[in-house]
Structure 1
Amino acid sequence: MPGPLAGIRVLDLTSVVSGPLATMFLADQGADVIKIEPLSGDITRRSRQSISASGEFSALFVSTNRGKRSLALDLKRPEAAEIMRKLIISCDVLVQNFRPGTMERLGFGEPALHELNPRLIYVSISGVGESGPYAKKRVYDPIIQALSGFADLQAEPKTRRPQMIRTIVADKTTAIFAAQAVTAGLFARERTGEGQHVRLAMLDTMIAYVWPEAMTQYTVVGREATTADPTARPDLIFETADGYITVGTISDSEWQGFCAAAGRSALAEDPRFNTPGGRAENATERILLMADIMKERPTAQWLERLDANDVPSAPVLRRNDVIANEQVVARELIVELDHPDIGLVRQPKPAARFDRTPAQIQGPAPRIGEHTAAILAEIGLEAAEIERLAAEQIVRLA
């Protein structure tokens, strides 16, 4: 059964992570995603350790480009530009994350493409937006973590030294926002008959991301100095006698359940902690007290006691433990698929599960130009013409 985006064609002019991951989500949901690459391939193919004999694949590339078709073009050549224009006529969506102004210089700015295809959803992903004093800066994920307050949010509790989170959270969050924006744009087109230009910046995304709970002291204008900083407290990783777990005690019943599991019934009525407001106001004291208690028993015993009292809890898994975790296995969250250049690779299943139009991994990540000949044939080029374009290094065949 086809996915929810079956019949939608996406032209993917993105590189690195935010754009490729966004379009991969669309491919998982059934869209025909054509990845436009330079003749040397997306930089992410080579930005991590190679996992293939050909040198064309890194694990990061494989995990952000599965299910796509690759068309390798030198966009600076006039004949490649003409190929692009032919493709755009038949596409529903174009996604690009060049630095602001690059698409215009190539002749593919949104106004020009809107004239060519008025139904086109044109998505521009940038680092900090197309205006403002930072607009021309080269931007990667750590820059956005620094600018958005995210690094401050992760600050070391004692010294308050800002820290980066050790995953490219800004890139990946922007990818999710972008994929959602594409589907909203397509839905709006069903109502209006017209496409539109959707602009999305990583900085905008991450400020929206951190805001709800991490910026509470800045939400009410004029009360910034009197509202407690929600990040000025220890995290919720607790050491046990033989490992680490996390525990949540937001509601009254959860706090009472924790006290019962810990054999500390008097704590349940402690006026510092017996209301949600009290637990929030005295969060540091509460968490440090819990940390001392948690060291008394091994992880398995704690989890059994906490579950028996309906207290949210889980073991803190090392990454190498995630694949074999009983919940992950029961949900079949990770699958194996054969990649012709690499062998068996693991991938997470698409997170959104549609009961009538199921999303699924459409296939492995492509080689550079693996589908060049087929795509060019689809727009009417003959085999001899395709061979000529390849010989003149206007396109690349796999």
Structure 2
Amino acid sequence: MAGPLDGVKIVDFTGVVSGPLATMFLADQGASVLKVEPLSGDITRRSRQAIDKQGEFSALFISSNRGKRSISVDAKSQEGREILLKLLADADVLVQNFRPGAMERLGMGPEQLREKFPRLIYVSISGVGDDGPYFKKRVYDPIVQGLSGFADIQADPQTGRPRMIRTIVADKTAAIFTAQAICAALYGREQSGRGEHIKVAMLDAMISYLWPEGMMQYTVVGKEAATADPNLRPDLVFETKDGYITVGTISDSEWSGFCEASGHPELKTDPRFSTPSARTANGMDRILLMGELIKQRTSAEWLERLDNADVPCAPILRRNELVQNEQVVARELIKEFDQPTVGRVRQPQPAAQFESIAGQPIRPAPRIGEHTSAILRELGYSDKAVAELIASRVIRIPSYQ
């Protein structure tokens, strides 16, 4: 069945992760995403270990580009730009994450396209925005983690040394914000009939994402120094006799349940921990005490005791355990399918599940320029014209075509 975005055409000029992941979410929901690649392909095809003999696929690329069609074009050539303008003639959305000025040099900046395509939703993704003293910086995820406060919130509670999150959280968060903004703009266009220029900076996205609990002590102007940092404490990884678990004790009932499960009911009335505000103020002492108690039993014992007391808890899974976890398996959260030239691969089920497309199979990621010929024929190019473009290296198609 068609997804909720069936009929929406997205021309995706993005590379690396933030843009490709955003458009992949929309492809999962039924949009037709045409991935425009240089003749050498998206950089992430090669920036990680190749998993096929041709060297066209990395696991990262597959996980950011499933369900798309690929057209490989030399956008710097006149013929290439003509192809791209024809692609945009009936497109709903253009997404790009080039450095500032690159699209304008191709004649495809937002203002340059607005007159030709007034209904086009134009999306620009950047690292730190298109103005300010940093706007020309080359930016990757760790740069944004450092600038946004994320490295600070992960700081070692004893030494204060900042630490990075070991996943590209800034790229992926920006992707989610971008996908949501595109859907909002599509709805807005239904009301106004006009397109929109959306700007999403990774830095902006991460500050917005961090703020609700990560910046609590900076929320009230003038009271910053008097407000304790709620994050200056050990993390909630607790070592057991045979592994690691995590436990949440925010509410009074949860703390009471933990005290009973631990065999120390007297802790419920300890003045350091008897109220939510006291537990927050004495967070370091509370978590260190919990850690000492939790070391005394196995993970299975603790999880049974805490579940019986209705206390939030879970095993801390190693990544190699995740695929076989009983909850993951029961809900079929990880799917398998055949990826051409690679073999059998795993991908997560799309996080947002729609009743109308329940059970729809996941579509593989494309080879470089896999759909170039078909797309050009849809645009009205003849077989002879396609052959001439291939010969002049304006376009690329896979060797098997």
Identify the TM-score tier after normalising by the shorter chain: over 0.9
Which residue type is aligned with residue 303 of structure 1?
L
CA deviation string 1:178-233 (max 9, x = no partner): 00000000000011011110001000000011111011111000001000011211
Which runs of 5 or more residues in structure 2 are unaligned?
none
Partner residue of 1:256? 256
* Superposed displacement of residue 62, structure 1: 0.6
Query: Does the CA contact (< 8 Å) of 1:336 and 1:345 recur in 2?
Result: yes
Which runs of 5 or more residues in structure 1 are unaligned?
none
CA deviation string 1:323-344 (max 9, x = no partner): 0000000110000010111000
- The answer to whether the aligner puts 1:315 opposite 2:318 as a matched pair is no
Which residue type is aligned with residue 36 of structure 1?
V
Query: Does the CA contact (< 8 Å) of 1:3 and 1:360 recur in 2?
Result: no
Percent sequence identity is: 65
Which residue type is aligned with residue 299 of structure 1?
S
Partner residue of 1:229? 229
| TM-score (structure 1 length as normaliser) | 0.99
Which residue type is aligned with residue 396 of structure 1?
R
Indicate how the Cα distance of structure 1 residues 147 and 359 shifts in structure 2: closer, same or farther if over 3 A, else same.
Answer: farther
Distance between the aligned counterparts of 1:254 and 1:229, measured in 2? 22
- The answer to whether the aligner puts 1:32 opposite 2:32 as a matched pair is yes
Distance between the aligned counterparts of 2:388 and 2:156, measured in 1? 59
Which residue type is aligned with residue 127 of structure 2?
G
Partner residue of 1:219? 219
Query: Does the CA contact (< 8 Å) of 1:30 and 1:359 recur in 2?
Result: no
CA deviation string 1:71-95 (max 9, x = no partner): 0000000011011111101100010
Distance between the aligned counterparts of 2:367 and 2:359, measured in 1? 23
Q: Summarize the alignment of residues 1-398 of structure 1 with structure 2, pairs less than 5 Å apart.
A: 1-358=1-358, 360=360, 362-398=362-398
SS at match of 1:242: coil
- Greater mean deviation of Cα atoms: 255-264 or 361-370: 361-370
SS at match of 2:76: coil
SS at match of 1:254: helix
Which residue type is aligned with residue 159 of structure 2?
T
Query: Does the CA contact (< 8 Å) of 2:123 and 2:197 recur in 1?
Result: yes
Distance between the aligned counterparts of 1:156 and 1:261, measured in 2? 29
Distance between the aligned counterparts of 1:110 and 1:279, measured in 2? 52
Aligned-residue CA RMSD (Å): 0.9
- Greater mean deviation of Cα atoms: 362-371 or 179-188: 362-371
Distance between the aligned counterparts of 1:328 and 1:114, measured in 2? 46
Query: Does the CA contact (< 8 Å) of 2:337 and 2:362 recur in 1?
Result: no
Query: Does the CA contact (< 8 Å) of 1:17 and 1:64 recur in 2?
Result: yes
Distance between the aligned counterparts of 1:265 and 1:369, measured in 2? 65
SS at match of 1:186: helix
SS at match of 2:65: coil
* Superposed displacement of residue 283, structure 1: 0.5
Which residue type is aligned with residue 126 of structure 1?
S
Which residue type is aligned with residue 230 of structure 1?
P
* Superposed displacement of residue 358, structure 1: 4.2
| TM-score (structure 2 length as normaliser) | 0.98
* Superposed displacement of residue 268, structure 1: 1.1
How many residues are paired up?
398
- Runs of 4+ deviating beyond 2 Å: 356-362
* Superposed displacement of residue 356, structure 1: 2.6
